[in-house]
A and B are shown apart, each in its own frame.
Chain A
Amino acid sequence: MFRFSRYLVNSLKYYWRTNLGVLAGAAIATAVLVGALISGDSVKFSLLELSMKRLGTTEYALESDHHLFRATLAEEIAELSDSDISSLLHVSGTLQQSSTNRLSHIQVYGIDEQFQKFLKAEDFPDLRESNHVAVSQRVAELMGLDIGDDMILKVEKNLVIPLETPVATKDDRTVSIYIEIGAILSDEQLGRFSLLSNQFVPNNLFIKQEYLAGKIEAQNLANILICKSWSETSLEKLNSALTQTVKLQDLALELRKVPDTQQYEVISSNVFINESVRSSLVESSMQTQEVLSYFVNEITSGSKSVPYSFVTGISSGNELNLNDQEIVLNDWAAGELGAVPGDSVHLKYYIQNPGNKLIEKSRSFLLKAVVPISGFAADRSLMPNFPGLGDAETCGEWNPGIPIDLDKIQTRDEDYWETYRGTPKAFVSLLAAQDMWANKFGRTTGLRMSGNGLTHKELNEKLLELLAPQKLGLKFEPVLQTAIAATQGGLDFGQLFIGLSFFIIVAANLLTGLLFVFNAEQRRSETGQLLALGYLPKQIRKLRLWEGLTLAVAGGLIGVFLGVQYSRFIIFGLGTFWRDAVGFSDFQIHLQPLRLVIGLVVGVAVSFISIFLVVRKQTARGAGKSRLSSLPKLKKWDRFRKYHLVMLVVFIMAASGILLKHQPDQAQAVAKYYSAASLMLITGIYACYVGMREILYLNRLKRFNTVNLVLRNWSRRAGRNLTTISLLAVGVFIVISVGLNHQDPTLNSAKASSGTGGFELFVETTMPILDELTTLPAFAEKYPNVEIVQFRKKVGDDGSCLNLNMVQQPQILGVVTDGLENRFTFSKTISGFGDGSGWDLLNFDWGPGVVPAIADMSVIQWGLGLGLGDTLYYVDDRGVDLKLVVVGGIANSVFQGNMIIAEHNFSRYFPSTDGTQVLLVDTPNLEVDRIALERELTDYGPEIQRCGERLIAFSAVENTYLSIFLMLGGFGLLIGTVGLGVVLLRNILEDRQEIAVLQAMGFKPGSVFKLILSEQILTLIIGLLIGAIAAIISILPVLSHSDPSEMMRLLILVVAGMLVNGIFWSAMAIRFAFKEEIAETLNGE
């Protein structure tokens, strides 16, 4: 029985050659879609795998940036929350094997017994000896280490008190530990353990916590808790357990009884009490009395002075009742000074500026009274436990963070210290004290309260109720959930590769459509017969569409298989030759059946739509006419040809005018070249149109030869040839101008307006630098012409384009903006705030809890998906929400990955972050100073990078994507040129009678072949030439600063590849067409 399906199958079989082409087009389109989707999934999956590797089985983590807590908190919380919790003591350090083999930015983790539980499968190696450490494979590889190697590990110590605490000693900040490599950790052994959401491999070193804690004077303390729940332990349960178990000590606080009084006092191990704690207690019902004691350089009255004394400011509620201009001396000091009430008393003291520079200030008071050293005036506990002072037995043992002139210390002073220690010699009002000595760490050194009959324990509990750890920033975070969200929310490689493969998809669908319409045209007589048999046009269209759908589905299925291979290629590329775009190579293919189905459905749909459109167009147009019966109308041309010629000249002049216009601004210069190139492209295509019309119009037989014949034929098919030329030209222009438009960030890098800001070196140190280097006399003397801008660093996500994860809280840099004035170029700034240089915007006061921030424009746009005026949310050191409002974006700079805020805001909200860890160095003597600087900063573990190199690393990402676009776009164009062969086949099909006539006239088949091919080559060359010339114009700025030969090689490769491919497929098409018998054609049989 004859069925419709039989007709379908027979038709598909009979026209197998062209159907194969349609199939190939559908397969390629689907393959590209499927490949891109799989690649996207694979990148996400790989990032997720990496996250699992860096977290192990960690689900939640608690990190304390600014103080240490008891390591035993881990056990206590674990008991209450049905989970495994490990405490970690995390510090930064440098590792040194020899004077040349050194590695900075070592993440040192002191681990406890529980840490083993956070490995998924393997065991953590047994570190037999205390000084045995386990390093990650990366560290071992970078330093060429092996098990048994001895090393020196230099780490920060004295983590309890911030280094920048006024008066506290700055010495003895690091400790060197002799270690032996006990194990080299694989990724499965948590070698790349990190709580940061990025794919970068950290330089990890694991050491026994107890041993490390002993070395850095942090016994039984930790600063990280990691948690793995046994069951469904919720975040709330964990934080609730934390609240139940936390002690004041874990919040860097201590409640003590004030001797000889009924008062209790809250003091901080950080010396100054956190502002959140202070405000919580002061604003409570506990009737708190604030105390601020400070170490002054000198108390003078008249010609006499007393050196190095503690002075205390105390809030009202005591018998002193001082106003802000009054001072009270104890009788010892008054005696030494010979001062009596009514005398003028002066205090000299140091304060620290942001660069840790000491500035001596003074303030005068009126002596209100002299009190005996008894009662509250004899309270030694008013002296805070400043490191370098609190433990000193004698004045000679003093080692504070300020210079001490021992010559000024006399026997009387030694005696006082021996008898009274740091008992204040003078008292001022609290407001006066805070006016002089309040700093970023706090405005009180003690908070006193009566207790209202509560016992120490009861008061302790009450305080803990008031001071919930969460409010102070001490809380568990769902790091696993965050990591998953970050991997899923980052750059979508699926979409990216669909975009990069756009030309392939378009070309493949074009091919599908062209081949299908060619097939249909081949069967024109069949269509006529079907019509004669009584089929309706819509029925015939339906028949064709069924064939098309069958081919699209079959092609799609093949495409799914090819797509998997394509994704393998992409993943391989990203891990190898495109590695610059992603920064790591540990990609794994991840196949999700649903994605394959989606890719198949979309691929088939897209191919079918192409087929549908051409079938609809063809059936609407009816049977095509032979070229022998058609010729363009030239009457209109006769009337308007002069105008066209004038227009052409105007176009050329306009393009030349744009090119010749001087444009100093780089961004505008790029736009200028693109405008000129685009205009040139249009001019070229327009010139073709004019040329074709003119050839036909000037139909006089001046020299009748083969060339003339080719030109005539070419001109006659103006529409189709012009379309082909336009497609080729536009394709070549886009692919080459975009693909070769590689950024050279080093261009003008010496200029202050460039992305380097005119700085030569970008330095990141492992340990914070407390001093403002250029103000240190020794440094200034050695490097008189070196300019350094120092940045504070709050560790966060890497917001640069190198991080594939979703960036949530980028790293923050704090800077005194003076050093950046007139440096860098702002792409955009928010209006209405501040004026002058964009950096001034950072100093505008947005009110409490809101800080203006500037970042690299690429970070704002692509990394964060934000715009100017948008807000980023952080939590400051007090545990309070902090909003960073984006007020400016800098053009491609070394700051990629960071948010920059003013130093005063940084210190205000992140006081516990010590010193500066990022430096920009401007030096006229780069090589010499680089080496010297590296030596100078050795103790800080510097990593020195040329600013230009840093920019190159960032631009390598973009340039690699451009290269991928060039490659895939070029491939798309090659497929497109296959389509040219199909177009030619259609042309020949239409011209077959003409070809037969030529042969009947005696033209050799070879001559006719050459004639047709010449016409096609002419189209190819003109299209490619127009596209290439426009592309060259567009990349002129790039050519001027890059290796032009390399660029031209690539350009020639693309153009030549397309030309050769185009000629090949055209030749194939002609050969295919020539199989038809001349006689049959002429007879229409």
Chain B
Amino acid sequence: MLLKLENVSKTYSAEVPVSVLSDVCMELTAQGIAAIVGPSGSGKSTLLNTIGALTGVDAGTIQFKENDISLLNPEQMAQYRNQDIGFVFQQHFLLPQMSLLENALMPTLAFHQKVNADELRQRAIKLLDRVGLIKRQDHRPGQCSGGECQRAAVVRALINSPELILADEPTGSLDQASAENLTELLLELNQEEGVAFIIVTHSSDLVKKIDDKYSLVNGSLGRI
């Protein structure tokens, strides 16, 4: 089992505490792909953030390859985010001063890499080529379309060969055509790269193409 969530709960403290996740349980196998749908404010993004160790949980456990990520120290958490998982957000969050290639390579600077820089560069170029951006590799985000940027963000998420990619409404800010392209790409990469995906989405087209579907309503996760 790649990922296992057991009774994960999270409450935001306020004058009136807001329960966002309530006894959430979920499993994902290696190279698996799961889609999570739900209305706005249902806690989808929070769920991804807890899985990505961007925020902690109040109760329950999240095990990644049978390791409880809540037990990791901050450095181990950073390494987990850098090596084991990748993020794709609704906004691409590419750095405007960097080319697409450089943006793709950004995660490689965070930790010492086992492979050398040239190999990483080749991998980045290969991935960019794979997503159809080879001619755009030296362009900056400002010179590219939203779809291109989002594809570059996917390459950035893949650069360190993670086993899981967390995609938070990746097509949310794209036009119809770009969204379809990206959907196809993610599914293909799931197969080609052997990387598991958890995709939070409102896109019914995307959901249709994924077998493992979950619905998050009022903090409770259930299979569809």
Q: Which residues of A contact B (CB under 8 A)?
A: 627-631, 696, 699-701, 704-706, 709, 712-713, 715-716, 993-994, 997-1005, 1007, 1077-1079, 1082-1083
- Pick the contact of B97: A716, A1005, A1083 (CB < 8 A): A716
Complex CA gap A806/B200 in Å reads: 82
User: How far is the CB of B192 from the nearest CB of chain A, in Å?
Assistant: 22
- The reply to whether B96 and A628 contact each other, CB–CB distance below 8 Å, is yes
- The reply to whether A631 and B142 contact each other, CB–CB distance below 8 Å, is yes
Chain B residues whose C-beta falls within 8 Å of the C-beta of A631 in the assembled complex: 96-97, 140, 142
- The reply to whether B93 and A1005 contact each other, CB–CB distance below 8 Å, is no
Interface: B19 (CB within 8 A)? no
- The reply to whether B46 and A1079 contact each other, CB–CB distance below 8 Å, is yes
Interface: B109 (CB within 8 A)? yes
Q: Quick check: which of B81-89, B173-181, B209-217 contacts chain A, the rest being far away? A: B81-89
- The reply to whether A1003 and B82 contact each other, CB–CB distance below 8 Å, is yes
User: How far is the CB of A1010 from the nearest CB of chain B, in Å?
Assistant: 12
- The reply to whether B78 and A716 contact each other, CB–CB distance below 8 Å, is no
Interface: B71 (CB within 8 A)? no
- The reply to whether A1002 and B97 contact each other, CB–CB distance below 8 Å, is no
Q: A699-B99, A704-B117 are in contact. Are A1004 and B74 (CB under 8 A)?
A: yes
Q: What are 12 A-B interface contacts by the 8 Å CB criterion?
A: A999-B54, A999-B81, A1000-B54, A1000-B87, A1002-B83, A1002-B110, A1003-B109, A1004-B75, A1004-B110, A1005-B74, A1077-B55, A1078-B55
- The reply to whether B95 and A994 contact each other, CB–CB distance below 8 Å, is yes
Q: Quick check: which of B60-68, B100-108, B183-191 contacts chain A, the rest being far away? A: B100-108
User: How far is the CB of B217 from the nearest CB of chain A, in Å?
Assistant: 19
Chain A residues whose C-beta falls within 8 Å of the C-beta of B117 in the assembled complex: 704
- The reply to whether B83 and A1079 contact each other, CB–CB distance below 8 Å, is no
Complex CA gap A886/B171 in Å reads: 86
Interface: B49 (CB within 8 A)? yes
- Pick the contact of B81: A706, A1000, A1077 (CB < 8 A): A1000
User: Which A-chain residue is minimally distant from B160 (CB atoms)?
Assistant: A1002
Complex CA gap A1003/B89 in Å reads: 17
Q: A701-B102, A997-B93, A1000-B87 are in contact. Are A1078 and B109 (CB under 8 A)?
A: no
Interface: B31 (CB within 8 A)? no
User: How far is the CB of B163 from the nearest CB of chain A, in Å?
Assistant: 14
Complex CA gap A660/B156 in Å reads: 55
- The reply to whether A709 and B54 contact each other, CB–CB distance below 8 Å, is no
Complex CA gap A701/B125 in Å reads: 12
- The reply to whether B96 and A1007 contact each other, CB–CB distance below 8 Å, is no
Complex CA gap A561/B84 in Å reads: 58
Interface: B98 (CB within 8 A)? yes
- The reply to whether A701 and B99 contact each other, CB–CB distance below 8 Å, is yes
Complex CA gap A998/B97 in Å reads: 14
- The reply to whether B97 and A1001 contact each other, CB–CB distance below 8 Å, is no
Q: A1001-B82, A1002-B82, A1003-B82 are in contact. Are A704 and B102 (CB under 8 A)?
A: yes
Chain B residues whose C-beta falls within 8 Å of the C-beta of A1001 in the assembled complex: 81-82, 87, 106-107, 110, 156
User: How far is the CB of B150 from the nearest CB of chain A, in Å?
Assistant: 14
User: How far is the CB of A1074 from the nearest CB of chain B, in Å?
Assistant: 11
- Pick the contact of A713: B83, B91, B97 (CB < 8 A): B97
Complex CA gap A630/B94 in Å reads: 11
- Is the interface on chain B under 10, 10 to 19, 20 to 34, or 35 or more residues? 35 or more
User: How far is the CB of B194 from the nearest CB of chain A, in Å?
Assistant: 20
Q: A1001-B82, A1002-B79, A1079-B46 are in contact. Are A627 and B96 (CB under 8 A)?
A: yes
Most chain A CB atoms below 10 A, which of B78, B83, B97, B102: B97
User: Which A-chain residue is minimally distant from B93 (CB atoms)?
Assistant: A997
User: Which A-chain residue is minimally distant from B55 (CB atoms)?
Assistant: A1079
Q: Please give me the 3 A-B residue pairs with the lowest Cβ-Cβ distance, nearest first.
A: A1002-B82, A1003-B110, A1079-B49
Binary A-proximity of B23-62 (CB < 8 A = 1, otherwise 0): 0000000000000000000000110010010110000000
Complex CA gap A993/B156 in Å reads: 16
Chain B residues whose C-beta falls within 8 Å of the C-beta of A716 in the assembled complex: 96-97
- The reply to whether A1078 and B82 contact each other, CB–CB distance below 8 Å, is no
Query: Assuming A994-B93, A1002-B78, what are 20 further A-B pairs, CB within 8 angstroms?
Result: A627-B96, A629-B96, A631-B96, A631-B140, A700-B138, A704-B102, A704-B109, A993-B91, A997-B89, A998-B106, A1001-B81, A1001-B107, A1001-B156, A1002-B80, A1003-B110, A1004-B110, A1005-B74, A1005-B78, A1077-B54, A1079-B55
- Pick the contact of A701: B75, B101, B142 (CB < 8 A): B101
User: Which B-chain residue is minimally distant from A712 (CB atoms)?
Assistant: B97
User: How far is the CB of A949 from the nearest CB of chain B, in Å?
Assistant: 62
Q: Could you tell me which residues of chain B, from 123 to 182, have a CB within 8 Å of some CB in chain A?
A: 138, 140, 142, 156, 160
Complex CA gap A715/B45 in Å reads: 34
- The reply to whether B55 and A1007 contact each other, CB–CB distance below 8 Å, is no
Chain A residues whose C-beta falls within 8 Å of the C-beta of B91 in the assembled complex: 993
Chain B residues whose C-beta falls within 8 Å of the C-beta of A715 in the assembled complex: 97
Chain A residues whose C-beta falls within 8 Å of the C-beta of B101 in the assembled complex: 701
User: How far is the CB of A630 from the nearest CB of chain B, in Å?
Assistant: 6
- The reply to whether B74 and A1082 contact each other, CB–CB distance below 8 Å, is no
Complex CA gap A543/B91 in Å reads: 33
User: Which A-chain residue is minimally distant from B52 (CB atoms)?
Assistant: A1000
Most chain A CB atoms below 10 A, which of B45, B46, B78, B101: B78
Q: A705-B109, A1079-B55 are in contact. Are A630 and B96 (CB under 8 A)?
A: yes
Chain B residues whose C-beta falls within 8 Å of the C-beta of A712 in the assembled complex: 97-98
Q: A712-B98, A1002-B78 are in contact. Are A1007 and B110 (CB under 8 A)?
A: yes
User: How far is the CB of A634 from the nearest CB of chain B, in Å?
Assistant: 10
Chain B residues whose C-beta falls within 8 Å of the C-beta of A1004 in the assembled complex: 74-75, 78, 110
Chain A residues whose C-beta falls within 8 Å of the C-beta of B98 in the assembled complex: 712
Chain A residues whose C-beta falls within 8 Å of the C-beta of B94 in the assembled complex: 628
Chain B residues whose C-beta falls within 8 Å of the C-beta of A627 in the assembled complex: 96
Most chain B CB atoms below 10 A, which of A706, A712, A1002, A1079: A1002
Complex CA gap A712/B160 in Å reads: 23
- The reply to whether B111 and A1078 contact each other, CB–CB distance below 8 Å, is no
Chain B residues whose C-beta falls within 8 Å of the C-beta of A704 in the assembled complex: 102, 105, 109, 117, 121
Chain B residues whose C-beta falls within 8 Å of the C-beta of A994 in the assembled complex: 93, 95
User: How far is the CB of A425 from the nearest CB of chain B, in Å?
Assistant: 112
User: How far is the CB of A935 from the nearest CB of chain B, in Å?
Assistant: 81
User: Which B-chain residue is minimally distant from A715 (CB atoms)?
Assistant: B97
Most chain B CB atoms below 10 A, which of A712, A716, A1001, A1003: A1001
- The reply to whether A1002 and B111 contact each other, CB–CB distance below 8 Å, is yes
Chain A residues whose C-beta falls within 8 Å of the C-beta of B107 in the assembled complex: 1001-1003
User: Which B-chain residue is minimally distant from A632 (CB atoms)?
Assistant: B97
Chain A residues whose C-beta falls within 8 Å of the C-beta of B160 in the assembled complex: 1002
User: How far is the CB of A993 from the nearest CB of chain B, in Å?
Assistant: 6
User: How far is the CB of A1083 from the nearest CB of chain B, in Å?
Assistant: 5
User: Which A-chain residue is minimally distant from B109 (CB atoms)?
Assistant: A706
Complex CA gap A1000/B95 in Å reads: 14
User: Which B-chain residue is minimally distant from A1004 (CB atoms)?
Assistant: B78
Chain A residues whose C-beta falls within 8 Å of the C-beta of B96 in the assembled complex: 627-631, 716
Complex CA gap A713/B95 in Å reads: 9
- Pick the contact of A1078: B54, B97, B140, B156 (CB < 8 A): B54
User: Which B-chain residue is minimally distant from A1008 (CB atoms)?
Assistant: B110
Complex CA gap A822/B153 in Å reads: 82
- The reply to whether A1079 and B54 contact each other, CB–CB distance below 8 Å, is yes
User: Which A-chain residue is minimally distant from B54 (CB atoms)?
Assistant: A1079
- The reply to whether B110 and A998 contact each other, CB–CB distance below 8 Å, is yes
User: Which B-chain residue is minimally distant from A993 (CB atoms)?
Assistant: B93
Chain B residues whose C-beta falls within 8 Å of the C-beta of A699 in the assembled complex: 99, 138, 140
Q: A628-B95, A716-B96, A716-B97 are in contact. Are A709 and B75 (CB under 8 A)?
A: no
User: How far is the CB of B77 from the nearest CB of chain A, in Å?
Assistant: 9
Complex CA gap A715/B55 in Å reads: 32
- The reply to whether A1002 and B55 contact each other, CB–CB distance below 8 Å, is no
- The reply to whether A696 and B97 contact each other, CB–CB distance below 8 Å, is yes
Complex CA gap A684/B176 in Å reads: 51
User: How far is the CB of B84 from the nearest CB of chain A, in Å?
Assistant: 9
- The reply to whether A628 and B46 contact each other, CB–CB distance below 8 Å, is no
User: How far is the CB of B16 from the nearest CB of chain A, in Å?
Assistant: 17
Chain A residues whose C-beta falls within 8 Å of the C-beta of B110 in the assembled complex: 998, 1001-1004, 1007
- The reply to whether A1083 and B45 contact each other, CB–CB distance below 8 Å, is yes
- The reply to whether B78 and A628 contact each other, CB–CB distance below 8 Å, is no
